[in-house]
A and B are shown apart, each in its own frame.
Chain A
Amino acid sequence: ILNVEQSPQSLHVQEGDSTNFTCSFPSSNFYALHWYRWETAKSPEALFVMTLNGDEKKKGRISATLNTKEGYSYLYIKGSQPEDSATYLCASPTQGGSEKLVFGKGTKLTVNP
């Protein structure tokens, strides 16, 4: 059974701090790694789909890297703002191009003004 792990479970930072958190996944038979951002009472929103070892993607102050050989992805937020407060989820297909995504339990980020 595919296991997707995220750490830390929760994180509190001050406005302006930069932060990062981790998603780890089995490196064998890798297909893709998805990052989602979920604010309570809203729809989880897709941030990145990462597929190639060494990939680095960026959207504004948020960026992500991927290491498929060792099975991890980092999400970075530069200069955190209160509106970045959300739960960040990563997910990977159960095998190859499977329709079924297995999600980590998420990292809940709180940015204090």
Chain B
Amino acid sequence: DAGVIQSPRHEVTEMGQEVTLRCKPISGHDYLFWYRQTMMRGLELLIYFNNNVPIDDSGMPEDRFSAKMPNASFSTLKIQPSEPRDSAVYFCASRRAGSSYNEQFFGPGTRLTVL
């Protein structure tokens, strides 16, 4: 089992540029979550999908952030335009419906630096 796959692992970009982060969940998992990790705020949920449909995006910080899940094996998180305060590690996680107490499986994260 390959686990959750994220790309790129590192991204350095300049303020104002568009950034796209990618995630491939574990095959057969129905839920997909996007998180942001910062020193100040810890791990925060941005948005989650169930069967490719966005269920709760209340954690998305502002309109510059958008997420899509066009099919069961792929999701993107886009930031346009990016700002230095978006610098963080972005994690994707997935889980299967009915799994033990909502246990989630995480990808290795994308470390984003916006200069």
Enumerate chain A interface residues (CB-CB to B < 8 A): 31-32, 34, 36, 41-46, 49, 51, 89, 91, 93, 97-106
Contacts and interface: CB of A to CB of B under 8 A. Distances in A.
Nearest to B3: A43
22 contacts: A31-B101, A36-B106, A41-B111, A42-B108, A43-B4, A43-B106, A43-B108, A43-B109, A45-B106, A46-B103, A46-B104, A46-B105, A49-B101, A49-B103, A89-B42, A98-B102, A99-B31, A99-B48, A99-B55, A99-B56, A101-B102, A101-B104
B56 A100 contact: yes
Interface string B89-115: 001000000001111111111010000
B105 A32 contact: no
Interface residues of B, number: 25
B19 interface: no
Interface of B: 3-4, 9, 31, 41-45, 48, 50, 55-56, 91, 100-109, 111
A49 to B, nearest CB: 5
Nearest to B107: A43
A3 to B, nearest CB: 11
Given A93-B102, A97-B102, A99-B102, A105 B42 contact: yes
